[in-house]
């Protein structure tokens, strides 16, 4: 059975925050301005982003409520009521609670009765994993429709107090890097087994994980190869050791480009993609730094896609992790020109332990 994305929605909390305002909101660690911020921001190219915390480090909206706002925004543009929904599939890197699952919290925030529930946990690719689960459920005929929501609230990890709670007087590069990369937001898709107006038919979703071949590149909960945050005697000890900081092993990051392009080439070999048939590319690259590297590697492989076919809102919306591709397609659908029959390729590379997910859409009209 065919599956269509018939409606999209998003939630971006608060007003856009420009580069000069970031540290006023997240805070100055030990009262000192960062020496790395300018360099990292120049590299990633992000100009504005959104935060769900204020200057007093108060959370203005929870992750589950952000997800619910995105879900409501999506449903308001559709003819499907909450009682008609068959499935809710959600994703996040970190929910508001350790337990229960994020899906339960979002279901309650959305006030959805008697629904099948799925939670995908991970980093950037978890949104696509949640989407694939819902896609398969509808394709198999188990449900006529499904709501998929991906939401991230990273800013709570970046408060100055988080870094000041460690025993070190200095913040190492790997622990500070993501402070200037990640931001908050949520996006939602409604899937249906019939097209409604101009919408997107999902042709396939395919992922390639490389966790068996590469070490952890992005993580929360570990600063010692032999200990996780749960292995310390107390949570205070784990925090003092820096085990609760979000870290990026930047030495491994260039692998994300190589593996991302490799996955694209594998799809070409399988006949799932023809370069000449691609009309639009939506790629969740986390930084402008990677954009040029992706183009260069694809050109060397003889599969270059003209730059004018690539769409991103990274520079205005920021890097919202697993929600990025949802927010991106929502804005693409509402602001860009596309025609019936167009082919759209979505690519989501993840640096957690290198999991890359791809999706092919076709623009159709009922």
**pLDDT tens string 159-181:** 999 999 998 888 899 999 999 99
Q: What is the mean pLDDT of residues 287-306?
A: 94
Cβ–Cβ under 8 Å, residues 121 and 355: no
CA distance 158 to 203: 38
End-to-end CA distance of the chain: 16
Candidates 26, 70, 62; CA nearest to 323 is 70
Cβ–Cβ under 8 Å, residues 115 and 81: no
Within 13 Å and on the Cβ side, how many CA atoms surround 54? 5
Would you say the pTM of this structure is higher than 0.85? yes
- The pLDDT-based confidence of 247 (bands split at 50, 70, 90) is very high
Supply 207's token pair: 């992922």
Q: Which long-range CB contacts under 8 A does 338-341 form with residues at least 24 apart?
A: 338/279, 338/280, 338/363, 339/279, 339/363, 340/198, 340/364, 340/365
List C-alpha distances in Å: 253 to 85, 247, 289, 352.
39, 12, 11, 10
Q: What is the mean pLDDT of residues 79-106?
A: 97
CA distance 189 to 327: 10
Q: What is the pLDDT of residues 107-152, one digit of tens each?
A: 999 999 999 999 999 999 999 999 999 999 999 999 999 999 999 9
Q: What is the mean pLDDT of residues 280-299?
A: 94
Average pLDDT, the chain: 96
Residue 27: which region, alpha, beta or left (left: phi > 0; alpha: psi -120 to 50)?
left
CA distance 366 to 360: 19
Backbone phi, then psi, for 239, in 5-degree steps? -65, -40
CA distance 168 to 171: 7
Q: Which fold has domain 1-366?
A: Peroxisomal Thiolase; Chain A, domain 1 (3.40.47)
The pLDDT of residue 171? 87
Q: What is the mean pLDDT of residues 57-65?
A: 98
């Amino acid at each position: 059975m065919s599956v269509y994305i018939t409606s999209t929605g998003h939630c971006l909390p608060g007003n856009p925050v420009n580069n000069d305002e970031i540290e006023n909101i997240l805070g100055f660690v030990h009262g000192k301005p960062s020496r790395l911020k300018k360099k990292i921001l120049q590299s990633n190219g992000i100009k504005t982003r959104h935060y769900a915390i204020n200057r007093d480090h108060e959370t203005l909206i929870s992750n589950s409520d952000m997800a619910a706002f995105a879900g409501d925004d999506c449903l308001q543009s559709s003819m499907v009521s909450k009682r008609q929904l068959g499935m809710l599939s959600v994703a996040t890197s970190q929910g508001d609670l350790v337990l229960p699952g994020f899906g339960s919290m979002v279901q309650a925030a959305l006030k959805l009765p008697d629904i099948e529930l799925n939670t995908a946990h991970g980093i950037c690719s978890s949104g696509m994993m949640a989407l694939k689960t819902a896609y398969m459920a509808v394709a198999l005929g188990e449900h006529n429709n499904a709501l998929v929501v991906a939401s991230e609230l990273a800013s709570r990890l970046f408060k100055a107090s988080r870094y000041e709670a460690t025993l070190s007087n200095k913040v190492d590069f790997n622990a500070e890097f993501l402070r200037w990369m990640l931001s908050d937001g949520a996006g939602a898709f409604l899937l249906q087994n019939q097209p409604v107006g101009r919408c997107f038919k999902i042709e396939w979703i395919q992922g390639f994980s490389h966790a068996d071949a590469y070490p952890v590149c992005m993580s929360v909960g570990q600063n010692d190869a032999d200990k996780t945050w749960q292995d310390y005697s107390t949570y205070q000890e784990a925090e003092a050791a820096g085990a609760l900081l979000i870290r990026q092993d930047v030495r491994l990051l260039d692998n994300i480009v190589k593996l991302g392009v490799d996955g694209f080439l594998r799809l070409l070999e399988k006949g799932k993609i023809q370069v000449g048939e691609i009309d639009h590319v939506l790629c969740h690259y986390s930084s402008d730094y990677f954009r040029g590297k992706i183009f260069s590697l694809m050109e060397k492989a003889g599969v270059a896609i003209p730059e004018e076919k690539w769409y991103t809102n990274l520079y205005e919306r920021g890097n919202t992790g697993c929600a990025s591709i949802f927010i991106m397609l929502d804005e693409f659908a509402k602001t860009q020109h596309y025609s019936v029959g167009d082919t759209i390729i979505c690519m989501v590379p993840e640096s957690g332990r290198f999991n890359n997910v791809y999706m092919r859409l076709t623009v159709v009209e009922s």
